[in-house]
Structure 1
C-alpha cells in the first residue's frame, strides 16, 4: 500500500519540476491505487483503479481543453518576428498587388494585405509569409 503513495509523492515532485498536468494525473492514479490497496482489493484491481483514475482525469482535461496549446499565428506574432510593425517605403505596386521594397539593407518581396488599396507611401509590416512581407498602410 505504501509503495503506491510513495510513487504518487514522487510523481507530484516530478510535476512540480516539470509543470505539466500529466504527472499530476499519474499521481492521482497512483494515490487511487493506494486507496484501493488500503481497502484490501487484489493487485489487478489496484492497477485497474490506478489506470482508470488517470484516464478519466486525462479525459476531463481534454474535454475542458486545459491541455490544448494556444494556437498563435506566428506569421503575425511580433514576439516571433521582430520585423512585424516595422515601416517600409513602397514606391509602386504591380498589378498583382506586389512590390519590391528596401528593408534592412536588402530588397524584399512584399505583398499588399487583402483589405488595402495599392498606393505608394509608407507601409508597416503586418505579417511575414515565408520570405515575403505582408504590408498594411501605416496609420
Structure 2
C-alpha cells in the first residue's frame, strides 16, 4: 500500500513501454496505462485487490476501446492496392494484345510486366489503369 506498491506498478508500466518499443505492439501501451492507473490507485491508498482491479479495468478498457476504434475505421488497403505505398497505382499503360490465358505482357517502367485484369471483362486491346500490384503482376481495369 505504500511506496513499494506504487514503485511496483511504475516498473510494470515502464517494462510495458520498453517492450512496446522493442516489438511495436501498440496494445502494450494500453496495458501500461492500466499499470499507471494502478500506481495512482496505490498512491491514493487503495488496497492491493483494488489496485489489481484498477489495472485490469483501465488497461483492459483501453485495449477494448482501441480495438473498437480500429475496427470502426475499417481496414486500410493492403500495400498491393494502396496508392500511398505503391506509386504504380493509378498509372496507365497500353495493352496491345491479350494472351489466351487472360494475361498480357507489356513494357512498363523500363521492364516487361505481366498484366491481369482485375474484373472478368473481355480482353480488348487499349489503355488500362493499374489498380494493384501482386508480385510481378499488374492488376488493371479498363481506363
- TM-score, normalization: structure 2? 0.66
* Residue matched to 1:102: 107
**What SS does the aligned partner of 1:66 have?**
helix
Cα RMSD (Å)? 3.3
Alpha-carbon spacing, 1:123–1:39, altered in 2? closer, same or farther (3 Å): same
What are structure 1's unaligned runs of at least 5 residues? Answer: none
Alpha-carbon spacing, 1:114–1:40, altered in 2? closer, same or farther (3 Å): closer
Alpha-carbon spacing, 1:67–1:112, altered in 2? closer, same or farther (3 Å): closer
**What SS does the aligned partner of 2:88 have?**
coil
Structure with higher helix content: 2
1:24 & 1:113 partners in 2: Cα distance? 40
CA offsets 1:94-136 (integer angstroms, 9 cap, x no match): 1221111011112111112224321111111111111011111
2:130 & 2:40 partners in 1: Cα distance? 58
For residue 7 of structure 1, the aligned residue among 10, 23, 44 is 10
CA offsets 1:18-69 (integer angstroms, 9 cap, x no match): 8x5643542343333442563463xx5365335423553255336x523568
Question: Does 110-119 or 48-57 show the bigger shift?
Answer: 48-57
Alpha-carbon spacing, 1:116–1:48, altered in 2? closer, same or farther (3 Å): same
Give the length in aligned residue pairs: 128
**What SS does the aligned partner of 1:56 have?**
helix
**What SS does the aligned partner of 2:29 have?**
helix
2:32 & 2:96 partners in 1: Cα distance? 61
Is 1:57 aligned to 2:34, yes or no?
no
* Residue matched to 1:66: 69
